[in-house]
């Protein structure tokens, strides 16, 4: 006998709108068609050998093979605090102001579950990383998108820009927090000092919390990464999220962290302890070593990815796309209208057959789907020969 799904669906109402993620769908399409997958943002080369060896050593030496402490192993919490000091001059207490999580994804979910009551509004920049909407829904909150819009910069390039008036207008008496992401996935925008200062002023003026997803902090090619928590009045109201996945090219390890004041971190920990309780132990020791790598690692990662960004940006432009300037992240957003297309979803569904390349329609990251209809996202965190192959396929397939 089967369960009578027509009387009551299995998936609860809060999550009903979130089926499988677009990444699973597009990656399956890539496998089925043998296409080059520039859809999902994971590197096809592993991170530093020394960090991998540190994980093996931890496993062998019995470090972290049993439940590590709930807040994370002290070695990693200290390394996270040192990293904040080293790169941003922020002083963070490793004992009370750091929490290790199962990737940034858990940090985002735990932060929202901890800080949001049903009925609270959460402002997020649209298009947004796909877990945000689901995490707000799981917390019973209401998401309020503020759309990043393409704009021309003084140097003639195009980038997605935050409209500060629109952000201000989105705040109501029910707004609890702003969920910010910079460097921004999928648009590749890095919020400027002026934009962040305005966000900070608004948070202070309206007494809002902020949760900032900074997983691409070391992948900034233009401008600089500025943590929102370092702006006046923001330390006491900001939860800052980081992850080893992108900074060390080990996305499968799922080690992330939260920093914030002791009361904020304690609140997030309350939610986290009933999600995963702790994250994988041996990897925490390895990530502690990784965070202490010399500057050459962080500079090398950035310069490597800058070259990849340039390769893909040029290739997409040569293939006929309109291309936005990527200031940070793993991604280039392209406009399909110069190719005579309008609907990114239809375009991406046909691209594997047509060109043997997979991309993601940016539309799926919007509530206002029409705003994102003509945009598609390509990941460049791949080997150069893979990018060259993809660009060649696009050029011949679209001509
Ligand atoms: C903006 C953003 N936040 C969070 C994550 C997830 O990070 P993690 O793998 O550490 O959970 C990603 C991964 O693609 C991302 O792009």
pLDDT per position as a tens digit, 142-155: 999 999 999 998 88
- Gap from CA of 2 to ligand 1 centroid (Å): 37
pLDDT tens string 255-303: 999 999 999 999 999 999 999 999 899 999 999 999 999 999 999 999 9
- Gap from CA of 155 to ligand 1 centroid (Å): 30
Task: Note the pLDDT of residue 261.
Answer: 98
Which residue has tokens 């920093």? Answer: 259
Site residues for ligand 1, CB cut-off 6 Å: 41, 103-105, 129, 181, 185, 213, 215, 243, 245, 251, 254, 256
What is the average per-residue pLDDT within 321-335? 97
Q: What percent of the chain has pLDDT over 90?
A: 88
How far apart CA 179 and CA 143 sit, in angstroms, is 10
Q: Which atom, in ligand 1's list, is nearest to the CA of 251?
A: 9
Q: Which atom, in ligand 1's list, is nearest to the CA of 184?
A: 1
Range scoring the smallest mean pLDDT among 15-24, 205-214, 266-275, 335-344: 15-24
Q: Which residues pair with 151 in a beta bridge?
A: 159
- Gap from CA of 131 to ligand 1 centroid (Å): 9
Q: How confident is the model at residue 338 (pLDDT cuts 50, 70, 90)?
A: very high
Pick from 107, 109, 168: which is nearest to 133 by CA?
109
- Gap from CA of 181 to ligand 1 centroid (Å): 10
Q: Is 316 helix (H, G, I), strand (E, B) or coil?
A: helix
pLDDT at 158 over 70: yes
Report the Cα 283 to chain-centroid distance in Å. Answer: 20
Q: How confident is the model at residue 320 (pLDDT cuts 50, 70, 90)?
A: very high
What is the average per-residue pLDDT within 146-166? 93
How far apart CA 374 and CA 340 sit, in angstroms, is 10
- Gap from CA of 7 to ligand 1 centroid (Å): 36
User: Which of 103, 219, 328, 365 has the most ligand 1 atoms within 8 A of CB, as the residue to mutate?
Assistant: 103
Residue 134, H or E segment: helix 130-138
Shortest-distance Cα residue to atom 9 of ligand 1:
103
Pick from 255, 206, 205, 201: which is nearest to 228 by CA?
201
Task: Note the pLDDT of residue 31.
Answer: 87
Supply 274's token pair.
Answer: 């009933």
Q: How confident is the model at residue 232 (pLDDT cuts 50, 70, 90)?
A: very high
Q: How confident is the model at residue 315 (pLDDT cuts 50, 70, 90)?
A: very high
Shortest-distance Cα residue to atom 14 of ligand 1:
41
Query: Between 266 and 6, whose confidence is greater?
Result: 266
- Gap from CA of 21 to ligand 1 centroid (Å): 14
Q: Which atom, in ligand 1's list, is nearest to the CA of 256?
A: 10
Q: How confident is the model at residue 5 (pLDDT cuts 50, 70, 90)?
A: low
Task: Note the pLDDT of residue 156.
Answer: 86
- Gap from CA of 182 to ligand 1 centroid (Å): 12
pLDDT at 3 over 70: no
Q: Which atom, in ligand 1's list, is nearest to the CA of 255?
A: 10
pLDDT tens string 75-131: 999 999 999 999 999 999 999 999 999 999 999 999 999 999 999 999 999 999 989
Burial (CB count within 10 angstroms: exposed 0-12, middle 13-18, buried 19+), residue 168: middle
Q: How confident is the model at residue 46 (pLDDT cuts 50, 70, 90)?
A: very high
Q: How confident is the model at residue 224 (pLDDT cuts 50, 70, 90)?
A: very high
pLDDT at 63 over 90: yes
Task: Note the pLDDT of residue 1.
Answer: 55
Q: Which atom, in ligand 1's list, is nearest to the CA of 105?
A: 11
CA distances from 291 to 260, 320, 355 (A): 18, 40, 40
- Gap from CA of 105 to ligand 1 centroid (Å): 6
User: Which of 22, 39, 43, 105 has the most ligand 1 atoms within 8 A of CB, as the residue to mutate?
Assistant: 105
- Gap from CA of 27 to ligand 1 centroid (Å): 17
Residue 146, H or E segment: strand 142-147
Pick from 157, 76, 166: which is nearest to 123 by CA?
166
User: Which of 39, 185, 381 has the most ligand 1 atoms within 8 A of CB, as the residue to mutate?
Assistant: 185
Q: What is the residue-wise DSSP string for 80-112?
A: HHHHHHHHH-----TTTSEEEESHHHHHHHHHH
CA distances from 12 to 18, 81, 122, 139, 258 (A): 10, 39, 21, 13, 29
Query: Between 31 and 393, whose confidence is greater?
Result: 393
pLDDT at 18 over 90: no
Task: Note the pLDDT of residue 64.
Answer: 96
User: Which of 183, 246, 248, 272 has the most ligand 1 atoms within 8 A of CB, as the residue to mutate?
Assistant: 246
- Gap from CA of 385 to ligand 1 centroid (Å): 25
Task: Note the pLDDT of residue 29.
Answer: 85
- Gap from CA of 290 to ligand 1 centroid (Å): 18
- DSSP H helical ranges for 190-325: 193-205, 244-247, 262-272, 281-291, 295-318
């Amino acid at each position: 006998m089967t369960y009578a799904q027509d009387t009551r669906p299995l998936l609860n109402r809060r999550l009903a709108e979130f089926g499988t993620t677009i990444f699973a769908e597009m990656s399956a399409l890539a496998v089925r068609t043998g296409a080059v997958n520039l859809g999902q943002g994971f590197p096809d080369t592993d991170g530093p050998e020394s960090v991998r060896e540190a994980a093996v050593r931890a496993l062998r030496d019995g470090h972290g093979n049993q439940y590590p402490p709930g807040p994370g192993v002290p070695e990693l919490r200290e390394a996270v605090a040192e990293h904040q000091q080293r790169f941003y001059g922020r002083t963070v207490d490793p004992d009370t102001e750091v929490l290790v999580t199962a990737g940034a994804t858990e940090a985002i979910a735990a932060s929202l579950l901890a800080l949001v009551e049903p009925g609270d509004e959460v402002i997020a920049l649209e298009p947004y990383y796909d877990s945000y909407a689901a995490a707000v829904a799981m917390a019973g909150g209401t998401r309020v998108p503020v759309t990043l819009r393409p704009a021309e910069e003084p140097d003639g390039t195009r980038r997605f820009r935050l409209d500060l008036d629109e952000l201000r207008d989105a705040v109501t008496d029910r707004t609890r927090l702003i969920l910010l992401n910079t460097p921004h996935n999928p648009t590749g925008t890095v919020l400027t000092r002026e934009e962040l200062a305005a966000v900070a002023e608004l948070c202070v003026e309206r007494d809002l919390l902020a949760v900032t997803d900074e997983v691409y902090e070391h992948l900034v090619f233009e401008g600089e990464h500025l943590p929102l928590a370092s702006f006046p009045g923001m330390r006491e109201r900001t939860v800052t999220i980081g992850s080893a996945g992108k900074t060390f090219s080990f996305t499968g390890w799922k080690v992330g962290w939260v920093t914030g004041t002791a009361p904020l971190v304690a609140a997030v920990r309350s939610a986290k302890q009933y999600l995963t309780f702790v994250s994988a132990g041996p990897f925490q020791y390895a990530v502690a070593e990784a965070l202490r790598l010399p500057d050459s690692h962080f500079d090398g990662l950035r310069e490597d990815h800058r070259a990849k960004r340039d390769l893909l940006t040029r290739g997409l432009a040569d293939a006929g796309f309109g291309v936005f300037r990527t200031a940070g992240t793993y991604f280039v957003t392209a406009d399909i209208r110069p190719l005579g297309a309008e609907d990114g979803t239809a375009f991406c569904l046909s691209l594997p057959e047509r060109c043997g390349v997979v991309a993601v329609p940016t539309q799926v990251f919007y509530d206002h789907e029409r705003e994102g209809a003509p945009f598609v996202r390509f990941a460049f965190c791949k080997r150069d020969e893979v990018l060259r192959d993809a660009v060649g396929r696009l050029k011949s397939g679209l001509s």
